[in-house]
């Protein structure tokens, strides 16, 4: 269905950029536990701060660009997107994932104590759950 929908070139470019940033942000997090076990935690910390977190920020930037460019019924109303439950729920999920990355994963990557291990696992788990919830929201768009 989407293949026959006429999207502008700018919308398609933003869509590709959004998806590439999702892959760059969430892809490494899927293997963080394995990478952490290898022992090169300094490299993992650099990966987290130089690629994963900036990519997560760009996910939001490009996602908001897509929302702003969408041609939905009622999109002429400047407050239309504020009424889209799926969109703002996705923004809240994104914010939770960003906070988990900053306050749970980042400080516990280089620590090897039991408390840091639990925080790291919780942060990775929240990120994985956030990815699944966001995908469901983006595909089904509940409330739209």
pLDDT tens, residue by residue, 10-40: 999 999 999 999 999 999 999 999 999 998 8
Query: What mean pLDDT is predicted for residues 90-99?
Result: 97
Are 14 and 67 contacting, i.e. CB atoms less than 8 angstroms apart? no
Tokens 């983006």 correspond to what residue?
A: 138
Prediction pTM value: 0.88
Q: For residue 106, is it left (φ>0), alpha (ψ between -120 and 50) or beta?
A: alpha
Report the percentage of the chain scoring pLDDT > 90.
72
Domain spans, the chain = 8-69+78-140
């Amino acid at each position: 269905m989407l293949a026959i929908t006429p999207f502008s070139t700018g919308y398609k470019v933003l869509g590709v950029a959004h998806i590439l940033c999702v892959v760059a942000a969430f892809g490494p997090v899927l293997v963080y536990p394995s990478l952490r076990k290898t022992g090169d935690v300094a490299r993992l910390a650099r990966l987290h701060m130089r690629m994963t977190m900036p990519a997560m920020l760009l996910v939001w930037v490009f996602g908001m660009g897509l929302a702003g460019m969408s041609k939905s019924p009622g999109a002429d109303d400047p407050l239309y997107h504020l009424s889209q439950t799926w969109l703002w729920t996705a923004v809240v999920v994104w914010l939770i994932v960003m906070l988990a990355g900053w306050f749970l994963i980042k400080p516990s990557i280089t620590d090897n104590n039991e408390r840091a291990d639990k925080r790291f696992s919780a942060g990775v788990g929240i990120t994985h759950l956030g990815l699944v919830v966001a995908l469901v929201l983006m595909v089904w768009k509940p409330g739209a």
